[in-house]
Amino acid sequence: MRYFDYLTPEQEQDLFLQLPSEFSNRDDKETLAYAVGAALYMPAIRPRIADDVVSGKIKGLVSLVIDLEDAVADSQVDFAERNLYETLDKLHRFVIEGFIESSALPLIFVRVRSAEQMRRLLSLLEERLYLVTGFAFPKFSPVIGEAYFRLLEEYNGSAGPNAPTLYGMPILETAEVIYRESRSSALLDIQALLKRYSPYVLNVRIGATDFSSIFGLRRNPDMTIYDIGVIRDCVTDIINVFGRQEDGFVISGPVWEYFRSDRVLKPQLRMTPFQEAMGKDGLKLRMSYLDRSVDGLIREVAYDKENGIIGKTIIHPTHLQPVQAMYVVTHEEYSDAASIIANSQGDYGVMKSQYANKMNEIKPHLNWSNRIMNRSKIFGVLHEKHNFTSLLADLEPAGALV
């Protein structure tokens, strides 16, 4: 599995200085933490998940979360669990019958409702668990989180030497985290827990929809989550606690829920990046994204990146390609990072960039450079003449999930 594997060899050669690397759920934790990227959520009650995955129906699908929690009604839980089993069993049969290599499957996660449900699933899925990269833990708190990660630790300790590690992705979305009076202690308690179980923590995810619900809020498509003050302040504190380089946690951004809407404010996508990459065709492409109200999503991902967030929760397949394209490393980013790392042995303190438009300070920018290199391995590096819009050209939007 790798990003943008649907491109032709000619397109890859034209677009990429360095192609995205291949990976599977047997790779190391640092690789997988970045590789989760744009994770598409699907309700566990959907009957054709396995067929859609193997057929390649969803262009750009690299990581998948099968949801047993909010996307499933209480009355449907038993059916959803059975369907999850049947989905993984079908994928297992596809693998053993040679229709697909397990390494070609997307990273698969299961969002569970409780530790009790997770314990049942570990027993139910048994030999099919090699297809699963991990579990997403909703409404995460220190008490609930302890139960989840203890199960993970027990499972990984008892699994055979050839079994891939199962990881956990805590979702921060509770009142204790968003309420100002309890936030600091809640985040620090969660941080202490995740440090104890750090070998099994793949992502720290932000559940901004649940945060907004607590206050009766919902951003409109002209805004980003960073325009809602109470959510922005909480996201800032989450980044402050979990985004420190020495801890090694990767933070994933909240969902963008719109795929069609009426516009109130001016469009947020500048014409220049599209025009520079593709001329008149670029302007047509820009309008197609404005018509589908994806400009707000692209703007929010730009804010995510500036705040050190890698990846995003996705609830509609048309969002996969814009988010993935935004995380590809530009030639300018790569050249700056490579220069800083190459000169980090003490001979220089500051250097003019290759693009001659900024100063690169070696020590202050070294952590940033390492993050860029991690991103480049997973998402690739573009040639100098290209930007993210080049990856969106001539690509039909992925179909809706029904």
Rounded to whole angstroms, the Cα distance separating 177 from 187 reads: 7
Question: Is 133 strand, coil or helix?
Answer: coil
The C-alpha angle with vertex 51 and arms to 50 and 54, in degrees rounded to 5, equals: 85
**Average pLDDT for runs of 10 along the chain of length 402:** 95 96 96 98 96 94 97 96 98 96 96 97 95 98 96 94 94 98 98 98 97 95 93 98 93 88 57 62 58 76 96 94 96 97 90 92 96 98 91 56 42
Locate tokens 């598409």: which residue?
Answer: 40
DSSP string over 220-265: -TTS-GGGSHHHHHHHHHHHHHH--TTT---EEBPP---SS----S
Rounded to whole angstroms, the Cα distance separating 11 from 324 reads: 16
At 342-386, the pLDDT tens digits run 999 888 899 999 989 999 999 999 999 999 999 999 999 999 989
pLDDT at residue 290, as a whole number: 52
Residue 305 · residue 33 · CB < 8 Å = no
Contacts of 5 (CB under 8 A, 6+ apart): none
Q: Which long-range contacts (CB under 8 A, 24 or more apart) does 300-307 make?
A: 300/224, 300/225, 300/226, 300/253, 300/256, 301/253, 301/326, 301/327, 302/326, 303/224, 303/226, 304/253, 307/235, 307/236, 307/239, 307/243
Residue 259 · residue 316 · CB < 8 Å = yes
At 35-44, the pLDDT tens digits run 999 999 999 9
Residue 93 · residue 58 · CB < 8 Å = no
pLDDT at residue 400, as a whole number: 44
Ordered alpha helix ranges (H), 56-205: 77-96, 115-125, 142-158, 175-178, 180-196
CA distances from 275 to 5, 282, 329, 331 (A): 25, 5, 19, 18
The half-sphere exposure of 8 on its side-chain side, counting CA atoms within 13 A, is 5
What are the residues facing 135 on neighbouring strands?
A: 110, 168
pLDDT at residue 183, as a whole number: 98
